[in-house]
Amino acid sequence: MKRLAILTSGGDCSGMNATIRAAARTAIANDVEMIGYRKGYAGLLKNEFIVLDSLAVSGTLQRGGTFLQSARSAEFRTEEGRKKALDNLMKERVEGLIVVGGDGSLSGALALDKMGFPVIGIPASIDNDIAYTDMALGVDTALNNIIYAVDCIKDTASSHDRAFIVEVMGRNSGYLASTAAIATGAEFAIVPEVELDLTEMCHQLRRRYEEGRTNALIIMAEGAGHAQSIADGIKDAVGFETRVTVLGHYQRGGAPSVFDRLLGSRFGRKSVELLLSGTKGVMVGLSANSLTTTLLEMVVKGGQKKLNEDLLRMADILGI
Ligand code: F6P
């Protein structure tokens, strides 16, 4: 192989730059040129790319987001769009493509694989809902961002006898909410996968209040309901002044953690080595701290990774 390409697609996350850099430098070490498409599949369709020589990726490892930029492309979801993408790859003599992104981006990678083009997928989504990998890129940094914010909120909550609902990302996934609840010592995690029993939660909060505790923290995934209505419910039932903080896109940015720098570097290197050895149509994942490969077909068919409900039980036990 003489020329490979990489793109970052869907929601950005920290660690994407580490992946691009590692992929580019592994390619260079093997006398292969790496190009980077701008703005995900949208850039591939417009044939907008830059050559990723060693200097082009210098100084990117420690930066959040993706310097190639990312986008969600409606055109690429059409058959015509995919044909155009394939034409562009051929025209530029690209022999293999690395796609870094979440479930939608990996479905796109599978479509190209089915058209006979060599593709490797890398899981990247702070939701950590991609099957066949213990961790996706960006999850660890997002969790570090969350615990920093929640620790700050806890200080002010305890100074005022208040309860706080902190809304974290996760439209369909409660991974961030449940792990953040454990890591911040929050009283409750509310997740989309499990229906909330508001009466029971208020009962527990009242008991804690009567025991003399000064505050309560609830971490809620954005897809689990309406935070302000739950806050109003708590105020009515328990009497605690309850405030809502929505962390939003703050969670997705910032310098990647050590874990995400290492994971991105490992994923990036591996993806190039796989293409050079003739492997295609797989996603690189992490299992028990070793890198794995799973057919993209299985990843996409498997759908969203299920929440390990033991995390929730643990959050409950430790939050008593
Ligand atoms: O899938 C990652 C994610 O950050 C979700 O947690 C969140 O719901 C969504 O992306 C937000 O998407 P956007 O940045 O397009 O608003």
In terms of Cα–Cα distance, which of 158, 159, 157, 183 is closest to 168?
183
Q: How far is the CA of 8 from the centre of ligand 1 (A)?
A: 15
Distance 125 CA to ligand 1 centre (A): 9
This model's pTM is above 0.95? yes
Report how far residue 260's alpha carbon sits from residue 303's, in angstroms, rounded to the nearest whole number.
23
Residue nearest to atom 10 of ligand 1 (CA): 11
Helices 198-210 and 227-238 pack at an angle, to 10 degrees, of 50
What pLDDT, on a 0 to 100 scale, did the predictor assign at position 215? 87
Spatial CB neighbours of 149, under 8 Å, sequence gap ≥ 6: 166, 245, 247, 250
What is the position in ligand 1's atom list of the atom closest to the CA of 222? Answer: 8
Pair of tokens at residue 96: 């293999």
Q: Residue 239: its pLDDT value, please? A: 85
Which ligand 1 atom is nearest residue 223's CA?
A: 8
186 is in an annotated binding site: yes
The two domains 3-138+256-301 and 141-252 share their CATH topology (first three levels equal): yes
Q: Which atom of ligand 1 is nearest to the CA of 126?
A: 2
Helix (H) or strand (E) holding 295, with range, is strand 290-295
Q: Is 169 in the pocket of ligand 1 (CB under 6 A)?
A: yes
> What are the pLDDT tens digits along the chain (320 aa)?
999 999 999 999 999 999 999 999 999 999 999 999 999 999 999 999 999 999 999 999 999 999 999 998 999 999 999 999 999 999 999 999 999 999 999 999 999 999 999 999 999 999 999 999 999 999 999 999 999 999 999 999 989 888 999 999 999 999 999 999 999 999 999 999 999 999 999 999 999 889 988 889 999 999 999 999 999 999 999 988 899 999 999 999 999 999 999 999 999 999 999 999 999 999 999 999 999 999 999 999 999 999 999 999 999 999 88
What pLDDT score does 241 carry?
Answer: 87
Q: Does residue 304 line the site of ligand 1, with CB under 6 A?
A: no
Residues with catalytic annotation?
A: 127
User: Which residue puts its alpha carbon closest to atom 3 of ligand 1?
Assistant: 11
Check the annotation: does 250 bind a ligand.
Answer: yes
Which CATH number does 3-138+256-301 carry? 3.40.50.450
Q: Is 269 annotated as a binding residue?
A: no
Is the CB of residue 173 below 6 angstroms from any atom belonging to ligand 1?
no
Helix (H) or strand (E) holding 123, with range, is strand 119-123
59 annotated among ligand-binding-site residues:
no
Q: Enumerate the domain spans of the chain.
A: 3-138+256-301, 141-252
> Is the separation of the CB atoms in 209 and 238 below 8 Å?
yes
Q: Which of 15, 56, 10, 18 is nearest to 35 (CA)?
A: 56
Q: Which alpha helices (DSSP H) does the chain contain, by range? A: 16-29, 40-46, 79-91, 103-114, 139-159, 175-184, 198-210, 227-238, 258-276, 296-302, 309-318
Residue of 127, 179, 247, 305 with the most ligand 1 atoms within 8 Å of its CB, for mutation: 127
Query: How many residues in total does the chain contain?
Result: 320
- Predicted confidence at residue 209, as pLDDT, reads 86
CATH placement of domain 141-252: 3.40.50.460
Say if residues 98 and 27 touch (Cβ distance below 8 Å): no
Q: Contact, 315 vs 186, CB < 8 A?
A: yes
